Structure 1
Amino acid sequence: MSYRTVGDILEFSEGLHRHASALYEQLRDDTQRERVDMMLKLLADHEQRLATALERYRDGNKAAILNEWHQFEAADVADIVMDAKELHMDISVTELVQLALKVDDYLISAYQQLAAEASSAEVRALFEDLANLEQAEKISAVRAALSVDDW
């Protein structure tokens, strides 16, 4: 396992969300199904909101917090979703949401672990906030996915 600063972890998380958002936008170009396109748009927006929030967290924190080191192994979007070949043109809304939630679950778990291992109360609070933000956005994405059936 490697070591990263809090700033590096926030930058990685922001990049992960931006990458996922771009992936969903790219998939929108390949689909002809309206419900899948709407879900991809919702998921791309979800990822973009989280990336923007992480950018604000990074820009709004003191250098002392951002420079604290933690044990953290960064993963790639393809590694997180385990099997990128699952992203195909005929993917269902349900399959798409299950894949999307893997990114949220990965980061929630990472933030919770980082919070538990934090050496300062400020960094612990930061990672707890991030875990809560991810959880709230995950719930929002699931609700949006469930409402796709009503469209």
Structure 2
Amino acid sequence: MQVETLRDVLHWTSDFHQHLTACLKHCADSNKSERAKMLLKYLSEHEEKLAHVIHEFETKGDEHALNTWCYEYLNKNPIVQHHHCDAPFSQLSTTEIMRVIIDQHNQVIELYRYLHDRADIPSAQELLEMLKSFEEHEMMLMVQSANRSEDM
């Protein structure tokens, strides 16, 4: 997908979360660890919700912000996406799964941070700040839930 505008970034991010959902679901039943199965199911449901929320930003966001050009970042800093679908999550421990999820989300957060720092339009800055804060908050929730499940 060619990413040129902020709308494209949101579409890409929604697809990113949707693809991660499918990957996590696909591997959930194959993992030998019950904790890992539960974690993968939880994460797939959470990623599905994230995809939906990002899609809502894309469809209901400010048109001026959504039409802001922002193609240079992904050309210079491609996000390594879902390399663990080739070496499935089904073969990873809960700690390894969370390490991959955190890394994936940190790359998206860094994308939003970079675009925010370069945005000239206040509505684009505001949207990117909301998206960055949203992703950070959701990643924190996933990590806390994963940590609680490890305590059981």
**What TM-score comes out, normalization by structure 1 length?**
0.88
CA distance in structure 1 between the partners assigned to 2:65 and 2:6 by the alignment: 7
Residue 132 of structure 2 aligns with which residue?
A: 131
Conserved 8 A contact 2:20-2:44: yes
The answer for the alignment partner of 2:120 in structure 1 is: 119
Distance verdict in 2 for CA 1:140–1:90, change over 3 Å: same
Deviation at residue 86 of structure 1 after TM alignment: 4.8
Counterpart Cα distance in 2 of 1:3 and 1:98 = 27
Distance 1:83 1:91 in 2: 9
- Matched residue SS, 2:74: coil
Kindly indicate whether the alpha-carbon contact (under 8 Å) linking 2:115 and 2:128 is maintained by their aligned counterparts in 1: yes
For 1:19-58, list aligned pairs within 5 A.
Answer: 19-58=19-58
Gaps of 5+ in 1: none
For 2:151, the equivalent position in structure 1 comes to 150
Once superposed, what is the RMSD of the aligned Cα atoms?
A: 2.0
Distance 1:139 1:125 in 2: 21
Task: Name the structure 1 match of 2:88.
Answer: 87
Contact 1:80 1:102 in 2 (8 A): no
Q: 1:42: how far off?
A: 1.4
User: When the two structures are superposed, what TM-score results if normalisation uses the length of structure 2?
Assistant: 0.88
Check conservation: 1:80, 1:106, Cα contact below 8 A: no
Q: Deviation digits for residues 75-128 of structure 1, max 9, x if unmatched?
A: 46xx24566555353311000000011111001100000000001011001111
- The Cα offsets for residues 33-62 of structure 1, whole Å up to 9 and x where unpaired, read as 211111001111221121111111011113
Count how many residue pairs are aligned between Structure 1 and Structure 2: 148
> Which residue of structure 1 aligns with residue 59 of structure 2?
59
Q: Percent identity?
A: 24
- Decide whether aligned partners of structure 1 residues 10 and 83 sit closer, same or farther in structure 2, where only a CA change above 3 A counts: same
Return closer, same or farther for 1:93/1:4 CA change in 2, 3 Å cut-off.
Answer: same
> Over residues 7-27 of structure 1, what are the superposed CA-to-partner deviations in whole Å (9 max), with x where a residue is unaligned?
100000000000001100000
Query: Taking structure 1 as reference, are residues 6 and 145 closer, same or farther at Cα in structure 2, changes over 3 Å only?
Result: same
